[in-house]
Structure 1
Amino acid sequence: MKRRNFIYLSGVGAGAIMLPNLPAFGTPIDPLQSLEQVDARIKKELADVALNTAKSKGATYADVRIGRYLNQAVVTRETRVLNVANAESYGVGIRVIVNGCWGFAATNNVTKDGMAKTAERAVAVAKANSKIGGTPVQLAEQKGYGEVTWKTPIEKNAFEIPIKEKVDLLMSVNGAALAGGANFVNSTILAINEQKYFASTDGSYIDQDIHRLYPNFSVTKIDSAKGAFETRGSLSSPVGMGYEYLIPSESEKVQGIVTRYKNRYDMLEDVKNATKNAAEKVASKSVEPGKYDLVLDPSHLWLTIHESVAHPTELDRVLGYEANYAGTSFLSLDKLKSGTFKFGSPNMNVMADKNQKGSLGAVGYDDEGVKPKEWDIVKDGVLTNFQAIRDQAHMIGLKESQGCCYAQTWADVQFQRMPNVSLRPGKTPLSVDDMIKKVEKGIYIIGDGSFSIDQQRYNFQFGGKLFYEIKDGKIVGMLNDVAYQATNQEFWNSLTAVCDERDYRLGGAFNDGKGQPGQSNAVSHGSSTALFKGVNVINTKRRIG
């Protein structure tokens, strides 16, 4: 057994669990060798075989996705390296329309013969589907772009950084936590590279090189005398960036109770703060339930946006097509068509896009060969749009797709996935300190935590990582056992103020699930710190007896 195979096989048990996009865990790889991409001319030749075969067998439309997915996880705990996992998945997915019905097939036999046979199989699937009947597929018009390329604008390719350098960083992080009094600490660096080639009968041949990175840790502090412990996770955000994300600059600092960075991340500084925070949480007082004004940091608010705004505005959930994985939506086509449905207060302005630099969703073209765009979902508190792809656009009166189609690998069929969905910053100059000064009785919440939301995305509960009590415009100490509850409209109509663009930051999910069979998507959500008035806060402390 080769050494790199041994490293992979010994690490895949835990490391691969943390990585999305791994059909059957892929195969072990040499990361540097796999960065040598397949020549675009070869991929075009292969794609043309599939497209021509599909058309000759009766397809009125066909697209081909040749994908190479590289995944890496470096996983540590205290003074040990638990896993180093490198994996590769390579293959092709072919989608066709025949007799007004979709057909899809995939293979890892990326040869001309494999392409032809797989295209034939996709056509056969579509013909079988057409016997069931139903409304024919209506694809929004899409011009072909010819031969184009796009790459995540990275400065340092994470796969080119030696494993030793990553291990050294994580060992330094763990060491800082232990030196600060932590009882347990684990840390990881996850990296993904999607090398994707898309071709369609519309005339597009699109070659993309997409990178994502997620460094994170968790610190635990035990108080033996109390028989209690507390944990604080990292305040990092998964990003669509290279390894430069882990090289912070002083100019990137956002000053506050804990130091954060807008587009970079200082893992060592964060773990030192986290160790202190975990000890403070053990000693902090438990919250008194009641109504509070909530000052929500972007590191927390991203998850509330994700669950209560982004998911409910996915058109397939609205229509009830998506129901088994996390439910449908309290929204409806009638609410959109009315043009008057009050989702939130006039301070609520939510936009969607897949263009924002550094975001997880950033691509040059989606998995239907559509250039992403930006559009309003909620404007001045009123619902204005949903999220739709080519075969959904006509359902809400759109002439073109919004460019939010995605498949987690070549082996999966592409379908509607949320783009980056973000709360726009306020237009009036407002800092976090100025916002806090206006609060008489409130809680400042930093970081995401546990959450619960019903099957129509209407009633919900959210926790967090850090909670600070605000009295008469000042932070007076740390709280614990905090969660807030609300209905969707009640919560968003309590939005009173949003800090300006100076405070705007991204959070996000590295592996957001949807569909059946389930698929994973990476998505960011941006916001500035926001103030919500009179929200119901509960105490989550477990009581025995």
Structure 2
Amino acid sequence: MQRRDFIQLSGLGVGSLLAAGVPVLGNSVSAEYLLEASGRGVGIDTAAKKRLADIALNAAKSKGATYTDVRIGRYLQQFVFTRENRVQNISNAESFGVGIRVIANGTWGFSATSNVTPDGIAKCAETAVAIAKANAKLQAEPVQLAPQKGVGEVVWKTPIKKNAFEIPVQQKIDLLMNVNGEAMKNGAAFVTSNLFFVNEQKYFASTDGSYIDQDVHRIWPTFTVSAVDRAVGKFKTRDALSSPMGMGYEYLDGLASEKIKAPNGLVGYRNSYDMLEDAILAAKQAKEKLTAKTVQPGKYDLVLDPNHLGLTIHESVGHPTELDRVLGYEANYAGTSFATLDKWKTKSFNYGSKLVNIVADKTQPFTLGTVGYDDEGVPCKQWDLIKDGILVNYQAIRDQVAILGEKESNGCCYADNWDSVQFQRMPNVSLKAGTEKRSVSDMIKGVDKGIYIIGRGSYSIDQQRYNFQFGGQLFYEIKNGEIVGMLDDVAYQSNTQEFWNSCSQLCDQDDYRTFGSFFDGKGQPSQVSAVSHGCPTTRFNGVNVINTGRKI
């Protein structure tokens, strides 16, 4: 990308583009341009960003702000969509601008601009202060901002080996065409495949004395294959068993190769993903699902693979421990939380069995939520949410921790773009592995009547994150310690406390893998974030299973 092209694109501001149903911030660029430029761009010199940030900090202070932070952001997205033997869409999005947040008269104010010039930034800072002062007339209590020592000038980068934006688009298309072709050869009637790449170049500065430059990369390869029985008009699908990752293109080319063999010929992936191998297996399994036995409703012991359990963690632990949901500040977008402060204050609320240890963590390598510092300039860390089954903490940011009687933010504040105000977002929330040596095969040997579930499926959970129902991608019946065949029409129902208290066994660290959500929505106006959930294969006893089909 030439300098004049970058200036032209960034000057256009933020538009919106719908690419195959996925929200994208930025401006559409033609496929021809992508093939030529491969989505590459030029950033702004760090010293120049510091000078611009200081303009904002000084302008806000001169107008009466007691605290200011500024985020200069350049956000790149490249999405590739294919179906069978054709490319459906290629989108390249770029967004560039500045967001300024202040406290004046004890109240927050925020303003953003795509006019990244000294005058534009100064005016934006003045507007933020004016908004704060106007808001102060309605504020009952002043903002209590947890102290944060400035970290000076620091740089943090996702430790990638291959920048996905530097890989030619043709190479990405070739990969997806191979994936689609092999799936079709092995029984798929239809197949769609997609690649998602995100690069956030974020510069943060605050009156605390922090100047933080971060370069964040994320990747998500995925597909859906469909097998059809035309004689009876029936079809079945199987989605990719990939996990979105905080990595570069090495996730797809084997440079970080690490695979975990699971029962029944399945493969688990950790820090690498063989998309072609998974597509071939998916086509065969989708075809097998056409003749799978329908499940008999009843109580089963469930053996849940990490690619499945990660979603259950996300919905039944991740969201309920967001402090703004607990307090009722967040309610319209997916509800509040049953895990209210009165339960936490007892220090004895049994969220799960004693085996359940769940941590929030924004430092775990290769995960979606990992950065060096959050969007308030707080160094990221790990902390306990559930310890030995007891609810011990929540996810909280600088203006929330005083409610918990704490003096330090958890470092989980995030905004999805420069023109979005940062607020509390879910960090990586993960179930710790067991301490006893145990493989998936070992776990299955101990199950008399059960179901082994792999992959995420449809789900439903109530507005307090309590009563729920989860499906999956693949279901295998377990009888007397052995897998005896594939099942279909499976979903399990429970409530959060009952479910986690039924946790009876964990595989060890050798089986620990991550699941990820690339577009987790929250807030008004809505924002998306990316978050991972790690866990080992885990057993839950006596869970109610229903049949989702029409016939039994």
Q: Shared fold (TM-score greater than 0.5)?
A: yes
Superimposed CA distance per residue, residues 395-443 of structure 1 (whole angstroms, 9 cap, x where no aligned partner): 1111110000000000100000010000000011110000000000000
Distance 1:50 1:416, change over 3 A: same
CA contact (8 A) 1:295 1:442 kept: yes
Match of 1:161 among 150, 156, 167: 167
Task: Please name the residue that 2:242 is paired with.
Answer: 236
TM-aligned CA deviation for residue 226 of structure 1: 2.1
Q: Deviations over 1:461-490 (max 9, x none)?
A: 000000000000000000000000001100
Measured after TM superposition, the shift of residue 74 of structure 1 is 1.0
1:74 aligns with 2:80: yes
Task: Name which of 326, 333, 338 aligns with 2:341.
Answer: 333
Map 1:453-472 → 2, pairs under 5 A? 453-472=461-480
Q: 2:499 corresponds to which letter in structure 1? A: F
Task: Give 1:450's aligned residue.
Answer: 458
Matches within 5 A, 1:90-489: 90-248=96-254, 252-256=258-262, 257=264, 258-489=266-497
Stretch of structure 1 that moved more, 26-35 or 88-97: 26-35
Please tell me the residue identity of whatever aligns with 1:330.
Answer: F
Aligned partners of 1:61, 1:251: CA distance in 2, in Å?
A: 46
Contact 1:19 1:71 in 2 (8 A): no
- How far apart, in 2, do the equivalents of 1:198 and 1:92 lie? 10
Counterpart position of 1:9: none
* Distance in 1 of aligned mates of 2:21 and 2:111: 26
Question: What amino acid sits opposite 2:477 in the alignment?
Answer: E
* Structure 1 position 218, deviation (Å): 0.4
Q: Is the 8 A contact 2:429 2:532 kept in 1?
A: yes
The aligned counterpart of 1:499 is 507
Does structure 2 retain, via aligned residues, the 8 Å contact 1:65–1:198? yes
Deviation for aligned residue 1:17: 3.7
Q: Offset of 1:35 from its aligned partner?
A: 3.6
Aligned length: 534
Identify the residue that residue 8 of structure 1 maps to in structure 2: none
Pair 1:38 & 2:31 matched:
no
Aligned match of 1:15: 19
Residues 310-329 of structure 1 show CA distances to partners (whole Å, capped at 9, x for unaligned) of: 00000000000000000000
Tell me: CA distance 1:40–1:251, structure 2 relative to 1, closer, same or farther (3 Å): closer
d(CA) in 1 for partners of 2:450 and 2:20? 41
CA distance in 1, matches of 2:258, 2:156: 27
**CA distance, structure 2, for counterparts of residue 503 and residue 543 of structure 1:** 36
How far residue 333 of structure 1 moved from its aligned partner, in angstroms, is 1.1
Shift of 1:135: 1.1
Deviations 1:358-380 (A, max 9, x none): 00001010000000110010000
Pick the aligned partner of 1:88 from 88, 94, 97.
Answer: 94
**1:167 offset after TM fit, Å?**
0.5
What SS does the aligned partner of 1:449 have? strand
2:10 aligned residue = none
Amino acid at match of 2:210: S
Instruction: Measure how far apart 1:13 and its partner are.
Output: 6.0
Return the letter of the residue paired with 1:273. Answer: L
Q: For residue 447 of structure 1, give the secondary structure of its aligned residue in structure 2.
A: strand
CA separation of 1:207 and 1:309: change in aligned 2, threshold 3 A: same
Structure 2 CA distance, aligned partners of 1:133 and 1:399? 22
Structure 2 residue 503 is matched with structure 1 residue 490: no
Contact 2:39 2:165 in 1 (8 A): no
Judging changes above 3 Å, is the alpha-carbon distance between structure 1 residues 189 and 83 closer, same or farther for their aligned structure 2 residues? same
Secondary structure, in 3 states, of the residue corresponding to 1:167?
helix
* Residue 246 of structure 1: how far off its partner (Å): 0.4
Give SS of 2:472's match: coil
1:538 maps to which of 539, 543, 546:
546
Name the CA distance, whole Å, in 1 between partners of 2:217 and 2:444: 37
TM-score, structure 2 as length reference: 0.94
Provide, for residues 228-279 of structure 1, a one-character-per-residue CA deviation record: whole Å limited to 9, x for no partner: 1000000001110000000236961211231122110000000000000000
Whole-angstrom distance in 1 between the partners of 2:44 and 2:342: 48
> TM-score, normalised to structure 1's length?
0.96
One-letter identity of the residue aligned with 1:467: F
Corresponding residue for 2:9?
none
Counterpart CA distance in 1 for 2:29 and 2:58 is 30
Per-residue deviation, 1:542: 3.5
**Residue 54 (structure 2) aligns with:** 48
Structure 1 runs, 4 residues or longer, greater than 2 Å off: 12-20, 25-36, 248-251
Q: Determine the C-alpha separation between the residues in 1 that align with 2:527 and 2:230.
A: 42
What percent of counterpart residues are identical? 64
Structure 1 unmatched ranges of 5 or more = 6-11
Please tell me whether the aligned partners of residues 106 and 136 of structure 2 are also in contact (alpha carbons under 8 angstroms). Answer: yes
Report the 3-state secondary structure (helix = DSSP H, G, I; strand = E; otherwise coil) of the residue aligned with 1:466.
strand
Alpha-carbon distance, 1:33 to partner: 7.2
- In the TM superposition, what whole-angstrom CA distance separates every residue of 1:75-100 from its partner, at most 9, and x where no partner exists? 11000011111110000000000000
- Contact persistence 1:27–1:88 (CA under 8 A): no
The whole-number CA distance in structure 2 between the counterparts of 1:347 and 1:19 is 39
| Deviation (angstroms), 1:133 | 2.6
**Aligned equivalents of 1:133, 1:340: Cα separation in 2:** 35
Letter in 2 for 1:429: K
Query: Given residue 52 of structure 2, which amino acid in structure 1 is its aligned partner?
Result: L
Q: For 2:445 and 2:255, locate their aligned partners in 1 and report how far apart those are by CA, in whole Å.
A: 29
Q: Unmatched 5+ residue regions in structure 2?
A: 7-15
CA 1:27–1:269 in structure 2 vs 1: closer, same or farther (change >3 Å)?
closer
Counterpart-to-counterpart distance in 2, 1:206 and 1:74: 31
Contact persistence 1:505–1:527 (CA under 8 A)? yes
